[in-house]
């Protein structure tokens, strides 16, 4: 049914006397528009388009003081009515529930978003124009009710997603910019947590609006909700985030616990932001840090390298929180830590792993674990030795990321555990010399700078190995120099000899 009553509203309002009649007409018009946007008629394209046109005409034809409540008593509910209309528009432009069949409806969603965005721009400009009006006491109340739905709309459609188009992104970006201007906020972060300590931000409001769509049964009904939550969360940092911990931690764990890798990674990024921006005392309270740790640890059994990378980075920042309360007493062995547990699992997975992307991911993060454990890495020395030797033998592609990171790990390992290195001299020396020969004679397309970096790192490892073994490497290399014909290898071995001359042989 065509919303004729809505279309007649502007002209009828113009011929009315000020007071009850104009107020009644405006309220009825908004009520009918809201009905068509939220009722069954919203499924019919004709009625839907008519409702949007009616709202556009109504906003243009109505003065700001009347639209936001004026000075009369009959429009006290107008801010609430406009807030309901804004929520209905945001829901109307939201992408539909994800289906397995494809993205046929995404172009329609982008068109809806562009149309709704233009309406929001008109409405926000009316709000801005009424800023200095003394006859508009309800402006602040109206802006408070409009800000949340408009913000959610803007973030949903300004980010590049499957349901957006360049036009819808542009319009949504304008909506966000005008919203910040009208609310007198210099940034999104200021909009959310307040521009100063005395001002209350809108983060609680936004989380309250998102909450119904972020429980176990509903969070997949709108595919934009998780992205709005994640993006909004990451705009708020210390010291404002900890007061919202009860609102943000459960949705982050829920998203990270999904079966889809994309959602797991998104949830882990949310958890990582929480770990970085919430004080350790708050994370340790009620065992929250342990809950996060177990959620992350379970992801280490998946073979997705992007997920593994996100999880390991988060765990490395979580370890200081988990180990904050641990104190070593000198008369007893140091207790094993969560870092020990994770490193043990990583090394178990690294040994048989043949997929290059996973090998690179593991190798990329291994130096950070050795630095974290320091001398306690000696607990994992045997397995680390096997992993290091195995990874040095395998060509890793033109960038050689895995072998470079393994050489970095070996250098750190020898620095932290040097008293245990001399008994492994022969095994490590053979592995490093083999690597030098392989790289020097490599006929592949590996760029020369990468080859040079490999040779330099391997040479540094040989120098460290010589220091750890009280100069024994220098004596063993003397015989090799007499028979070696490869100029690159000879150059590296001479560097080892020269660096060893005059250096202390005490392993320090």
Higher pLDDT, 59 or 230: 230
For 255-267, write each residue's pLDDT tens digit.
Answer: 999 999 999 999 9
For 85-144, write each residue's pLDDT tens digit.
Answer: 899 899 989 998 865 544 556 788 899 899 999 999 988 988 877 665 544 556 777 888
Phi/psi of residue 469, nearest 5 degrees: -110, 20
Q: Are 420 and 381 in contact (CB under 8 A)?
A: yes
Residue matched to tokens 């985030």: 241
For 197-247, write each residue's pLDDT tens digit.
Answer: 667 889 999 999 999 999 999 999 999 999 999 999 999 999 899 999 999
Q: What are the tokens at 477?
A: 């290399």
Contacts of 461 (CB under 8 A, 6+ apart): 407, 410, 411, 414, 428, 432
* pTM, to two decimals: 0.88
pLDDT value of position 150: 95
Q: What are the tokens at 398?
A: 């033109």
| Cα-based torsion angle of the residue sequence 490, 494, 496, 498 in order, rounded to the nearest 10 degrees | 180
Chain center to CA of 313: 12
pLDDT value of position 483: 77
DSSP of 417-433: SGGGTGGGHHHHHHHHH
pLDDT band at 442 (very low <50, low <70, confident <90, very high): confident
**C-alpha angle 394/396/401, rounded to 5°?**
120
Q: What is the mean pLDDT of residues 436-456?
A: 89
State how far the alpha carbon of 257 is from the alpha carbons of 217, 232, 278, 317, 415, in Å: 14, 20, 21, 20, 39
Torsion over CA: 318, 322, 324, 327 (sign): negative
Task: Using the predicted structure, report yes or no on whether residue 20 has a pLDDT greater than 60.
Answer: no
Domain spans, the chain: 1-94+106-137
Q: Is 444 left (phi over 0), alpha (psi -120 to 50) or beta?
A: beta
Q: Which of 61-65, 208-212, 493-497 shows the lowest mean pLDDT across its residues?
A: 61-65
């Amino acid at each position: 049914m065509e919303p004729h009553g809505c279309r007649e509203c502007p002209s009828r309002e113009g011929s009315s006397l000020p007071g009850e009649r104009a107020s009644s007409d405006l309220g009825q018009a908004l009520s009918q528009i809201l009905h068509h946007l939220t009722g069954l008629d919203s499924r019919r394209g004709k009625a839907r388009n008519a409702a949007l046109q009616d709202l556009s005409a109504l906003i243009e034809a109505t003065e700001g003081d009347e639209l936001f409540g004026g000075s009369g008593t009959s429009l006290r509910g107008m801010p609430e009515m406009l807030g309901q209309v804004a929520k209905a528009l945001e829901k109307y432009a939201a992408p539909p529930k994800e289906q397995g069949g494809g993205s046929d409806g995404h172009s329609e969603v982008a068109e809806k978003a562009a149309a709704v965005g233009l309406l929001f721009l008109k409405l926000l400009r009316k709000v801005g124009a009424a800023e200095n009006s003394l006859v508009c006491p309800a402006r602040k109340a109206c802006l408070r009710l409009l800000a949340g739905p408009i913000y959610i709309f803007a973030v949903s459609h300004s980010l590049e997603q499957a349901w957006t188009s360049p036009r819808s992104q542009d319009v949504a970006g304008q909506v966000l910019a005008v919203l910040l201007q009208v609310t007198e906020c210099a940034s999104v972060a200021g909009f959310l947590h307040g521009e100063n300590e005395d001002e209350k931000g809108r983060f609680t409001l936004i989380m309250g609006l998102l909450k119904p769509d972020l429980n176990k049964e509903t969070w997949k009904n709108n595919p934009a909700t998780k992205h709005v939550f994640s993006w909004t969360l990451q705009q708020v940092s210390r010291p404002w985030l900890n007061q919202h911990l009860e609102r943000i931690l459960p949705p982050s764990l829920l998203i990270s616990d999904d079966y889809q890798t994309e959602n797991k990674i998104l949830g882990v990024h949310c958890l990582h932001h929480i770990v970085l921006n919430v004080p350790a005392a708050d994370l340790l309270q009620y065992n929250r840090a342990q809950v996060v740790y177990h959620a992350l640890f379970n992801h280490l059994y998946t073979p997705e390298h992007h997920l593994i990378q996100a999880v390991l980075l988060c765990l490395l920042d979580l370890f200081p929180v988990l180990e904050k309360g641990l104190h070593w007493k000198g008369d007893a062995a140091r207790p094993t830590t969560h870092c020990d547990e994770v490193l043990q699992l990583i090394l178990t997975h690294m040994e048989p792993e043949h997929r290059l992307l996973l090998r690179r991911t593991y190798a990329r993060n291994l130096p950070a674990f050795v630095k974290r454990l320091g001398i306690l890495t000696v607990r994992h020395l045997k397995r680390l030795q096997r992993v290091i030797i195995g990874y040095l033998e395998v060509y890793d592609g033109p960038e050689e990321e895995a072998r470079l990171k393994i050489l970095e790990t070996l250098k750190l390992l020898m620095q932290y555990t040097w008293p245990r290195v001399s008994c492994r001299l022969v095994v490590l020396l053979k592995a490093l010399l083999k690597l030098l020969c392989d790289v020097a004679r490599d006929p592949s397309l590996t760029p020369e700078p990468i080859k040079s970096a490999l040779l330099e790192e391997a040479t540094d490892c040989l120098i460290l190995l010589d220091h750890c073994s009280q100069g024994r490497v220098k004596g063993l290399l003397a015989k090799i120099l007499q028979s070696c014909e490869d100029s690159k290898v000879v150059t590296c071995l001479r560097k080892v000899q020269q660096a060893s001359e005059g250096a202390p042989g005490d392993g320090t």
